[in-house]
Structure 1
Amino acid sequence: MTWDYPLFLALNFDGGPAMDRAMLALSGTAMWLPLYALIVWLVSRRYGWRGAAIFLAVMLAALVLSDAVAGIFKHNGLLGDLMPGLEPRWRPMFTPELEGLAIAPDSLYALRQAGAPGPWRVHVPVEAVAGYYGTVSAHAATVVALAVLSCAALRRRWFTCLMVAATLAVCYSRIYLAKHFPMDLLLGAALGGALGWAAWRLFRRLTRGSGKV
């Protein structure tokens, strides 16, 4: 894409070891556990513990489905044989064109895994070297699904701002770690948004008559 590569290169840079660790943490799971707990607690205050239990089940289903569908797209293309031009796309860290190299992505994959010295145009922390394909982003899909579902359920301005910040932080970490191009994230966000809204509609149906739906 004419805009995807330049935008990625403009956003990806070497911020040093401290920033590498911060971005790896943002892309991980452990640091977000308090946020999940906060969401369930806020939902329990609004809808009661029965509503919170239903929300938790719906949330987990939305997250699992977002991750699973994104994984299917990653390894089979966006529409499989229906649109062969949308085949699985290598992650930025394994895209030779970004480095000006005339080698196969598999060869660049081997160089990255071996920690071969640069100079490299794309910054890739060695701990981030994993996977092959990046379209669509499962991280973007899951975080947006969570944001849409929880913001629709809670409807608090400060919480919406918090979830927007969390979503942007997670998505940027994927660019910093050279895991995804911007388009991968946009497609993942679209997928997550659709599934998050569907989850909200299901939650609202299941909790009708309780709380402030």
Structure 2
Amino acid sequence: MYTFDHALFLTLNFDGGPVMDRIMVLCSTPAAWAWLYVVMLWLVWRRGGWRALLFFAVTAGAALGLADMVAGIFKHAGLLGSLWPSFPARLRPMHTPSLEGLVHTVREGGLYGTVSAHAATMTALCVTALPTVRRRWFSVLMVAVTVVICYSRIYLAYHFPVDIVLGVVVGLVSGAAARCAAQAVRRRLCRA
């Protein structure tokens, strides 16, 4: 598994030059996507008003928080980072001794990267936003942005491909859990 993962990583991680490096750093920065979040919130408000916007914000916030905390458990970081201290966290590609000299690194990162929090949180946001917004163009845009962010993490040598896949799984589960909880709350509120 590691052999395949390392080989795939080395195929996807390359020196694209200073312009590509800057683009990937920008893609990996959450603030760079603020325009997308504003558009998303506007679309939710336009579709359902202030109540829908508030409900969506709470649901998305819960999904993002859960995804980030779960990803942090596997990296021994964040709010729940000390929850599973015996878990053998995986070194980031830039810190992996067997790949020394083969990895294109733009910036140094933390030591561990077992589950990509970027992949987890963006996937959780997709799972909560797409069924709420229900616009094909927005769905394509949101999935494309998520893929770009996930790839940027490999390009920058912060994660192996399996770390990204694990992050996506965490995001899918977190987003689905938040949506299920939100729907249950909505049903109860409608009955009252």
TM-score by length of 1: 0.80
Equivalent residues of 1:152, 1:200 under 8 A apart: no
Match of 2:142 in 1: 163
| 1:121-173 Cα distance to aligned partner (Å, 9 max, x none) | 11001xx2021100111000000000111012122221111111011100000
Contact (CA 8 Å) 2:115, 2:167: kept in 1 or not?
yes
Say which is worse superposed, 40-49 or 170-179, in terms of deviation.
Answer: 40-49
Structure 1 residue 203: Cα displacement: 3.1
Q: Provide the secondary structure at the position in 1 that maps to 2:74.
A: helix
What code does the residue aligned with 1:129 have?
Answer: E
List per-residue Cα deviations over 1:39-61 (Å, max 9, x = no partner). 11111112211110111122122
**1:68 to 2:47 alignment:** no
Tell me the distance in 1 between the aligned counterparts of 2:76 and 2:66. 16
Q: Describe the superposition over 1:91-120 as per-residue Cα deviations: whole angstroms up to 9, x where unpaired.
A: 000001012xxxxxxxxxxxxxxxxxxxx3
Equivalenced residue count is: 184
Q: Does 1:193 align with 2:172?
A: yes
- Unmatched 5+ stretches in structure 2: none
Pairing partner for 1:202 from 149, 157, 181: 181
Q: Match for residue 15 of structure 1?
A: 16
Structure 1 regions of 5+ residues with no counterpart?
100-119
Q: TM-score, normalised by structure 2?
A: 0.88
The match for 1:110 is none
Paired residue secondary structure (2:112): coil
Aligned to 1:144: 123
Contact 2:59 2:128 in 1 (8 A): no
Change (3 A) 1:207 1:35: farther
Would you say the 8 A contact 1:51–1:207 is kept in 2? no
Cα distance, 1:204 vs structure 2: 3.1
Structure 2: distance between partners of 1:188 and 1:180: 10
Q: Is it true that 1:53 corresponds to 2:34 in the alignment?
A: no
Q: Give the drift of 1:88.
A: 0.1
Residue in structure 1 matched with residue 105 of structure 2 by the alignment? 124
Asked if the contact 1:153–1:200 (Cα under 8 Å) also holds between the matched residues in 2, the reply is no
Shift of 1:202: 2.9
| Residues 73, 84 of structure 2: 8 Å contact kept | no
Is 1:153 aligned to residue 154 of structure 2? no
Q: CA RMSD in A?
A: 2.1
- Of all paired residues, the percent bearing the same amino acid is 53
CA distance in 2 between counterparts of 1:133 and 1:205 reads: 36
Alpha-carbon distance in structure 2 between the residues aligned to 1:49 and 1:30: 24
CA distance in 2, matches of 1:80, 1:194: 19
Aligned to 2:95: 94
